[in-house]
Amino acid sequence: MKRIAGILLVVLGAAAGVLWADALSINGAGATFPNPIYTKWFDEYHKKNPNIQINYQSIGSGGGIKQVTEGTVDFGASDGPMNDEQLKAYQDKHGSPILHFPTVLGAVVPTYNIPGVNATLNFSGEALAGIYLGKVTKWNDPLIADANKGVKLPSEDIVVVHRADGSGTSYCFTDYLSKVSEEWKTKVGKGTSPNWPVGLGGKGNEGVTGTVKNTPNSIGYVELIYAEANKIPYGNVKNADGVFMKASLASVTAAASGAAKDMPDDFRVSITNAKGKEAYPISTFTWLLIPEKFTDTAKRDAIKGFVTWMLGDGQNYTEALSYARLPKEVVAKEKKALAEIQ
Amino acid sequence: MATASASLPGAGPVSGSRSFLSRLRDGDEIARLITFVFAATVVLISVLLVLELWRDSAMPRHKFGFAFFRTTTWDPVDGDFGALPFIYGTLVTAAVALVIAVPLGIGAAIFLAELAPPRVSDTLEFFIDLLAAVPSVIYGVLGIFIVVPLMRQFIAPSLKSILGFLPLFKGPAYGVGFLTAGIVLAIMIIPYIISVSREVLLSVPRDQREAALAVGSTRWESTWKVVVPFARSGIMGSIFLALARSLGETMAVAMVIGNDPKISMSLFAPGYSIAAVIANELAEATSELHTQSLIELGLVLFLLTFVLNGLARILIVVTSQRGAGRARA
């Protein structure tokens, strides 16, 4: 009996060893916003290539940048591009640069709760900046009212709600406000957790939504996919061409194509307030952060293989999960950039 | 411990042989050593924790020095960090929680230990232990969906109409804020106070009660003048356990405090606590200075807990001496 058990153990061990050696395990960490699509992609890619297993931890963009710089993961992911200081830190540590690869697009939408108002409101950039600076304090302020003729807005104080946790959503929103308001740019600036001049902080998309739902005369901002999934009504935002645009997968992709023409070679580009009549102005890429040099060639080939698939077939999974797909121009440019990885 | 009790059954017949005795002694030694190591681990963990927090907060300590404790700006974009609003928020919410929870908790404990029939007391104790085991995020949800709307619609307006002349109850009430966080914390810590205080009250010797009754005091007099003072240091202990819990509570507070780093006299105003800001911002802190400032906040919270616990110890010693003095007089 003991002998049989022993033999079984050896056989099992050998089998496990074979499996272990076969499956190449690649680790990544970072942004939470694209986590649903990344999980789907890595799962689908594993089904097609059973010998490659990509693990992803959605620990936040900041954590992703830190871990890939430390070298504890094979690739990172971030909702905001790495800044020059962070790029330099990576270059100093590894002797070679890190590359940005856009994967999908997201957007941020304003949501509000005004008793008695059911219409979809229009917001200009100046109005949003004014509200979040604490200068536009009443709902019937001309900055809001003039864009919403025919809607009876109350003379009530606006309760401002923002994200309390550091997030790519806040980065995208404040990046937009910095572009449309000089005062916002100098006073507050853009960041994952800026120093908000006014307002209540809600934790996560659900915290902001909960606070807005519970507080009459409030305004907040959430991710488009969150608003869509939870059927939360949201307002239109005026784009660079002066059109009040509703956020949708099409208008977000349009913002990216508008920006694609003058896309820098390192893909670190903000597409907020992008040109184009059809563009939704508070849109953003989300990026994979991939080292330019790999010592492990098997890992390098696996990651390159995945990115190639993601830019092709992978993009077909985006819309079912409410992410906007990459415009063709960007895909073509990324395929070229992929060759730089050695 | 295990070693000692394992060697005990063999000791049954008193054989008196020297080698056996020494073996037993050896067993004691081993047990002593093992348990000592376990006990030392507690100290070791605390020391490592402080060392780690100290080491990883070098940047803001050098950049801001003691100004970190005094300044009120928290601006991750410009890299300017001050801890005062968070220290203030932590202390204020804990104070509000204690003001609400202590009378309720001790009152309930007295009822359960002294006045209620044992069956009622044991049944209720079961529910209280259950409440103490509920995860804090559940209390946070309770806060968002029940306490916040109640606060905005009923509690804040009625407090304003009665006590509106106090600066504590001025200004607009959004529903979230110091008072709401304090109430949710109070709900969370009451089970601790009840549970520990009840045990302490039950452990007061019967003689004490009987002696009081024998000299003609009523049941309430024996409870209030004899039993409660006898159990005072234990009850204090339960309060400080509750205080420690409310200083460090993260999730529930982050959900209802409003997360706005401002110092405001009004309890209706939104604020921020140390634990909440660490939980909110650490994951997405992109600059090293931001991360390290959050770690320094952790160190501040540790110090705060340490100092308050030290004060608590002193208070217990002082009051128990005074109690003893009065008993002798």
Q: DSSP of B239-251, one letter per residue? A: HHHHHHHHHH--H
Closest partner residue to B176 (CB to CB) among A63, A65, A211 is: A211
End-to-end CA distance of chain B: 43
Are B260 and A191 a contacting pair at CB < 8 A?
A: no
Can you say whether residue B299 is alpha, beta or left, with left for phi > 0 and alpha for psi between -120 and 50 degrees?
A: alpha
ipTM above 0.90, yes or no: no
Closest partner residue to B284 (CB to CB) among A165, A201, A214 is: A165
Q: Give the up-direction half-sphere exposure of residue A101: CA atoms within 13 A in the CB hemisphere.
A: 26
Residue B234 and residue B197 in contact, taking contact as beta carbons nearer than 8 Å: yes
Highest mean pLDDT among A330-339, B100-109, B229-238 belongs to B100-109
Q: Which residues contact B70 (CB under 8 A, 6 or more apart)?
A: B82, B84
Residues of B with CB under 8 A from a CB of A: 73-78, 144, 148-149, 152, 172, 174-176, 254-255, 258-260, 270, 272, 276, 279-286, 290-291
CA distance B316 to B326: 15
Cα B82–B86–B91 angle (5° rounding)?
135
Show the DSSP H helices in A286-339 as ranges.
297-311, 328-338
Q: Which of A211, A215, A218 is the mutation pick for testing B, counting most B CBs within 10 A? A: A211
Taking the CA atoms of residue B183, residue B184, residue B189 and residue B195 in that order, the dihedral angle to the nearest 10 degrees is 100
Nearest residue on chain A to B177, judged by CA atoms?
A200
Closest partner residue to B77 (CB to CB) among A157, A194, A201 is: A194
Residue B229 and residue B294 in contact, taking contact as beta carbons nearer than 8 Å: no
Burial of residue B160, with CB atoms counted within 10 A of its CB: 0-12 exposed, 13-18 middle, 19 or more buried: middle
Are A195 and B78 a contacting pair at CB < 8 A?
A: yes
Strand pairing class (A75-78; A283-291): antiparallel
The two tokens of residue B125 are 């104790």
Burial of residue A116, with CB atoms counted within 10 A of its CB: 0-12 exposed, 13-18 middle, 19 or more buried: exposed
Angle between helices B232-248 and B288-328 (to 10 degrees): 170
Q: Which residues contact A94 (CB under 8 A, 6 or more apart)?
A: A71, A291, A293
Q: Give the up-direction half-sphere exposure of residue A155: CA atoms within 13 A in the CB hemisphere.
A: 0
Q: Which residues pair with A104 in a beta bridge?
A: A286
Nearest CA to CA, how far is B96 from chain A (Å)? 20
Closest partner residue to B76 (CB to CB) among A157, A168, A193 is: A193
Can you say whether residue A73 is alpha, beta or left, with left for phi > 0 and alpha for psi between -120 and 50 degrees?
A: beta
Residue B75: its pLDDT value, please? 92
Nearest residue on chain A to B287, judged by CA atoms?
A62
Tell me the mean pLDDT in the region B85-101.
96
The two tokens of residue B200 are 């302490």
Main-chain dihedrals φ then ψ at residue B227, nearest 5 degrees: -70, -50
Q: Per-residue pLDDT for B323 more than 80? A: no
Nearest residue on chain A to B279, judged by CA atoms?
A165
> Which residues in A324-337 are b (16+ Cβ under 10 Å) and which e?
bbbbeebbebbeeb
Q: Per-residue pLDDT for B288 more than 70? A: yes
Q: Where are the beta strands (DSSP E) in B61-180?
A: 74-75, 80-81
Tens-place pLDDT, residues A39-88: 999 999 999 999 999 999 988 888 888 899 999 999 999 988 898 888 99
Nearest residue on chain B to A167, judged by CA atoms?
B284
Cβ neighbours, 10 Å, residue A270: 19
CA distance A188 to A291: 32
3-state secondary structure of A324: strand
CA distance A126 to A242: 12
Q: Where are the beta strands (DSSP E) in A164-295?
A: 200-202, 218-223, 236-238, 244-245, 283-291
For residue A324, give the nearest of A315, A333, A332 by alpha carbon.
A315
Residue A341 and residue A99 in contact, taking contact as beta carbons nearer than 8 Å: yes
For residue B201, give the nearest of B242, B150, B152, B236 by alpha carbon.
B236
CA distance A298 to A167: 33
Are A203 and B270 a contacting pair at CB < 8 A?
A: no
Strand pairing class (A244-245; A283-291): unpaired
Are A200 and B174 a contacting pair at CB < 8 A?
A: yes
The two tokens of residue A327 are 């415009």
Are B75 and A196 a contacting pair at CB < 8 A?
A: no
Residues of A with CB under 8 A from a CB of B: 59-63, 65-66, 80, 83, 86, 157, 159, 164-168, 188-196, 199-203, 207, 210-211, 214-215
Tens-place pLDDT, residues A99-138: 999 999 999 999 999 999 989 999 999 999 999 999 999 9
Are A214 and B258 a contacting pair at CB < 8 A?
A: no
Are A199 and B152 a contacting pair at CB < 8 A?
A: no
Tens-place pLDDT, residues B142-191: 998 899 999 989 999 999 999 888 888 988 888 899 999 999 999 999 99
Are B255 and A207 a contacting pair at CB < 8 A?
A: yes
> Which amino acid would we find at residue A86?
Q
Q: Could you read off the pLDDT tens digit of each residue along chain A, which spans 342 residues?
A: 556 665 555 555 555 544 455 678 999 999 888 999 999 999 999 999 999 999 999 888 888 888 999 999 999 999 888 988 889 999 999 999 999 999 999 999 999 999 999 899 999 999 999 999 999 999 999 999 999 999 999 999 999 999 998 888 999 999 999 999 999 999 999 988 899 999 999 988 888 998 898 889 999 999 998 888 888 889 999 999 999 999 999 999 999 988 887 788 899 999 999 988 999 999 999 999 999 999 899 999 999 999 999 999 999 999 888 899 999 989 999 999 998 888
